[in-house]
Amino acid sequence: MSLISDSSLIFARQMRLSLRSPAWPIIGLFQPALYLAFLGPLLVSVAGAGVDGLPAGAAWRFFVPGLLIQLGLFGPLFAGLSIIADLRSGVFERMRVTPVSRFALLAGRVMRDTVVLLVQTVVLLTVAYAFGLRAPLVGLLLMFLFVAAIAVGLSALSHGLGLLVRSEESFTPLLNVAAIPLLLLSGILLPMTLAPQWLDVISRLTPFRYIVDGMRTALYGDYTGSVVVTGAAVAVVTAAVCLVLGARLFSRRHA
Amino acid sequence: MPIIQATGLTHTFTVGGRTVEAVRGVDFEVSPGEIIGFLGPNGAGKTTTLRILTTMLKPTSGRATVAGVDVDADPAGVRRRIGYVAQAGGTDGNCRVAEELILQARLYGIGKRDAERRAAELCERLDLTGLADRPIRTLSGGQRRRTDIALGLVHEPQLVFLDEPSVGLDPQSRSDLWTHIRRLRDELGTTVFLTTHYLDEADTLCDRILVMNHGRVIAEGTPDALKRRISGDVVSLTLGGDADRAKAVLAECPGLDEIAVSGQTVRLTARGGEQALVWLMRAADQADLDLRSVNIARPTLDDVFLALTGSSLNENHS
Ligand SMILES: Nc1ncnc2c1ncn2[C@@H]1O[C@H](COP(=O)(O)OP(=O)(O)O)[C@@H](O)[C@H]1O
Ligand SMILES: [Mg+2]
């Protein structure tokens, strides 16, 4: 099917560019490791005795899902910067003037961001294992599904926004304004069960709250409970909505 | 049957609540195998019209068929049949010439082997051999522009749009590029639609010119036919004093067609330039005009533009 082969062509090109960029191995592989090394031990101490929402001995299983989401918020969420660069250089118009499907132009890029995040996930889980993360295999495999959904959603959204905003100067601050509250409200660093009620309520209005809870519960070994199912459903629906939104923006004639 | 037919095309941009009428009703036809050019100053609406014809932009009103396909009804059908090289190009400095050419061919649905063969052929045709594996950022301006053009030709379209193909190139690269464009038409029969604000480019390269200004096509024809509209010779007189007074004085002479002032120069057209010159010198002498220099020339496209719009294309652009 040409949609698949067209998307793969775009994916391969974007991947080549990523691999060629000298920043890629550093940002992509060392950043997650740094978080584990410099933040993880603090959390282990905090959780030493176990607090509400953070069972004793589960510090790494609690911490790793939050880090994975954080990687998503700093990677795929900012992926739209590349479409702005391609708009400016004319690369995007050069591709748009071919008969290739508009969706493939988005899908190939989203695939690149997803693969990058999945590779980062492998690294992060490996390093976390060295630090002391122990979790059931199924739970670990579920992390990849969650991460893929997060990457697809954030990357598609970011690319669509990039086409709307069209300038790095507005795009970066806009996303920072969006990413920081999302990050804090998801309860990535500390359990939201510690939050006062008003904060807990606001937190429940953001998708990452459900996603991170689902991921943690999966690592605790409870795959079939409603928390994991809800988290997975929220992740998939959010990804789908973002993908549709991005696709619409990509198919506009005057982009 | 024309390969392009545009009827009443308009496009209005809205920027922050203000509207810009970039294209205000453009009609024309292009025959297969022509090299046709939009000639006009920056802001005339050339790029906007091209982007409508290449389906990058929806017209505000009007219709166009390109390669037999309606741009509005079947944009993907148009895209399959045309090539387009944008004014600013379309390359990323970190990509390599050949890999982008192969990718572009494959986006047109060409198989891998075929794509590689065409990329190699195009590199040869456009003097890019030896650069195939170079990162695009390391190319010279002319090499980079030829890469842009190769990207627009990789699927061997019957019709190619080139927006300001030689802008920013040195004279040697420009004339090389013109040779490539002419060969494209002569050897492959490709219809070439280009835009330019260079008079010499329009004059030497185009079979036919559409003169564009303020969103409209204000004249069309072969370069020679356009120049013939300026009946006779162009006489330019440069003065030290008041050029407007000089214009009033000189306008009294017999045998003149049009007279205009630009800066310190009075430019006029006369059926017989040499004959008119005698009258002009005599009148200047009698009125005690401070005449500095005189020049007689066959009309150029700039004179055509001047006669049509009242301003010189060269003045708008250095
Ligand atoms: N994307 C755009 N948004 C707003 N105005 C535009 C845009 N593109 C072109 N214009 C305006 O439309 C007019 C025609 O521009 P253009 O078609 O680029 O002219 P040309 O190619 O002849 O130099 C100009 O006034 C220009 O400022
Ligand atoms: Mg232009």
Q: Which amino acid, one-letter code, is at B92?
A: D
B93: chain A residues, CB-CB within 8 Å: 89
Q: What is the DSSP letter of B40?
A: -
Q: Whose CA is nearest to atom 8 of ligand 1?
A: B48
Helix axes B273-286, B243-250, angle to 10 degrees: 120
Residue B87 CA, ligand 2 centroid: distance in Å: 6
- Assess B86–A contact: CB distance below 8 Å, yes or no: yes
Triad A101, A106, A109: Cα angle to 5°? 125
Task: Give distance in angstroms: CA of B164 to centre of ligand 2.
Answer: 7
Q: Mean of the per-residue pLDDT values for chain B?
A: 92
CA-based nearest residue to A248, from A120, A136, A105, A63: A105
Domain B4-227, CATH among 3.40.50.170, 3.40.50.970, 3.40.50.300, 3.30.70.580: 3.40.50.300
B246 touches B237 (CB < 8 A):
yes
Looking at ligand 1, which residue's alpha carbon is closest to its atom 12? Answer: B22
* Interchain pair B107, A95: CB under 8 A: yes
Ligand 1 lined by B20 (C-beta under 6 Å): yes
Predicted confidence at residue B227, as pLDDT, reads 87
Predicted pLDDT at A90: 96
Q: In chain B, how long is the greatest CA-to-CA distance?
A: 79
Backbone phi, psi, residue B149, to 5°: -70, -40
Can you give the length of chain B in residues?
Answer: 318
Q: Name which of B86, B104, B106 is nearest A93 (Cβ-Cβ).
A: B86
Instruction: Over range A23-28, report the average pLDDT.
Output: 69
With a cut of 90, say whether residue B203 has pLDDT above it.
Answer: yes
- For chain B, what is the HEC assignment? CCCEEEEEEEEEEEECCEEEEEEEEEEEEECCCCEEEEECCCCCCHHHHHHHHCCCCCCCEEEEEECCEECCCCHHHHHHHEEEECCCCCCCCCCEHHHHHHHHHHHCCCCHHHHHHHHHHHHHHCCCCCCCCCEHHHCCHHHHHHHHHHHHHCCCCCEEEEECCCCCCCHHHHHHHHHHHHHHHHHHCCEEEEEECCHHHHHHHCCEEEEEECCEEEEEECHHHHHHHCCCEEEEEEECCCHHHHHHHHCCCCCEEEEEEECCEEEEEECCHHHHHHHHHHHHHHCCCCEEEEEEECCCHHHHHHHHHCCCHHHHCC
Instruction: Name B234's bridge partners.
Output: B269, B297
Residue contact A89–B92, C-beta within 8 A: yes
Q: What is the DSSP letter of A39?
A: H
Q: What is the mean pLDDT of residues A102-121?
A: 96
Residue B150 confidence (pLDDT) above 90: yes
For the record, the structure tokens of B179 come out as 């040779």
Atom of ligand 1 nearest to the CA of B11: 12
Q: Is residue A13 part of a domain?
A: yes
pLDDT in the model for residue A248: 96
What amino acid is encoded at B184 in this protein? L
For the residues B226-245, what does the mean pLDDT come to?
A: 83
Report CA(B208)–ligand 1 centroid distance (Å).
Answer: 23
Are A21 and B94 a contacting pair at CB < 8 A? yes
ipTM of the complex: 0.92
Kindly indicate the confidence band of residue A254, based on its pLDDT and cuts at 50, 70 and 90: low
Strand order in the sheet with B4-15: B18-30, B4-15, B61-66, B69-70
Lowest average pLDDT, out of A46-55, B137-146, B202-211, B262-271, goes to A46-55
**Whether the CB of B47 sits within 6 Å of ligand 1:** yes
Q: What percent of chain A has pLDDT above 70?
A: 95
- Whether residue B91 and residue A16 make contact (CB cut-off 8 A), yes or no, is no
**Chain B residues with CB inside 8 Å of A97's CB?**
54-56, 79, 82, 84
| Partners of B233 in beta bridges | B270
How would residue B300 be classed by pLDDT, with cut points 50, 70 and 90? Answer: confident
Measure the CA–CA gap between A154 and A74, rounded to whole angstroms: 10
Q: First vs last Cα of chain A: how many Å apart?
A: 26
CA dist., res. B143 & res. A34, Å (int): 44
Q: Phi-psi region for residue A196, left (φ > 0), alpha (ψ -120 to 50) or beta?
A: beta
Is the pLDDT assigned to residue A255 strictly greater than 80? no
Measured between CB atoms, which of B58, B86, B94 is closest to A17?
B94
For β-strands B191-196 and B35-39, DSSP reports them as: parallel
Note whether B108 contacts A: Cβ–Cβ < 8 A: yes
Q: Is residue A182 part of a domain?
A: yes
Has residue A255 been placed in a domain? no
pLDDT in tens, B15-67: 889 999 999 999 999 999 999 999 999 999 999 999 999 999 999 999 999 99
Q: What is the mean pLDDT of residues A114-124?
A: 93
Answer yes or no: is pLDDT of B317 > 60. no
The Å distance, Cα A218 to ligand 1 centre, comes to: 55
C-alpha A97 to ligand 2 mean position (Å): 17
Residue nearest to atom 7 of ligand 1 (CA): B13
Mean pLDDT of B164-185: 91
Of the given ranges (A2-6, A57-61, A149-153, B181-185), which has the lowest mean pLDDT?
A57-61
In the structure encoding, which two tokens stand for residue B168, read together?
């920013």
Give domain limits for chain B. Answer: 4-227, 232-298
Angstrom distance (rounded) from CA B313 to CA B310? 10
pLDDT at B318 over 50: no
Q: Tell me the CATH class for B232-298.
A: alpha beta
Q: What is the pLDDT of residue A36?
A: 86
Q: How far is CA B127 from the centre of its chain?
A: 24
Predicted confidence at residue A112, as pLDDT, reads 95
Note the pLDDT of residue B112.
97
The yes-or-no verdict on residue A55 having pLDDT over 80 is: no
Interface size between A and B, measured as CB pairs under 8 A: 69
- The SS3 of residue A48 is coil
Mean pLDDT computed over A125-141: 93
Q: How close, in Å, is residue A6 to chain B by CA atoms?
A: 7
Residue A223 lies in a domain: yes
- Check whether A241 has a pLDDT greater than 60: yes
Q: Which domain holds residue A86?
A: 2-250
pLDDT surpasses 70 at A49: no
Quote the CA–CA distance of A120 and A100 in Å, as a whole number. 30
Q: Which of A45-54, A206-215, B297-306 has the highest mean pLDDT?
A: A206-215
At A96 the pLDDT is 96
The partner residue sitting opposite B79, judged by closest CB among A2, A17, A98, is: A98
Taking the Cβ of residue B80 and every Cβ of chain A, the question of whether any pair is shorter than 8 Å is answered with yes
Give the model's confidence band at A81: pLDDT under 50 very low, under 70 low, under 90 confident, else very high.
very high
Q: What residues of A are in contact with residue B90 (Cβ under 8 Å)? A: 89-91, 93-95
Question: Exposure pattern of B1-34 as b/e (b: 16+ CB <10 Å)?
Answer: eebbbbeebbbeeeeeeeeebbbbebebebeebb
CA distance A21 to chain B (A): 9
Domains of chain A: total: 1
d(CA B187, CA B179): 12
Q: Is the CB of B86 under 6 A from ligand 1?
A: no
pLDDT digits (tens, 9 = 90+) for A196-236: 999 999 999 999 999 999 999 999 999 888 999 999 999 99
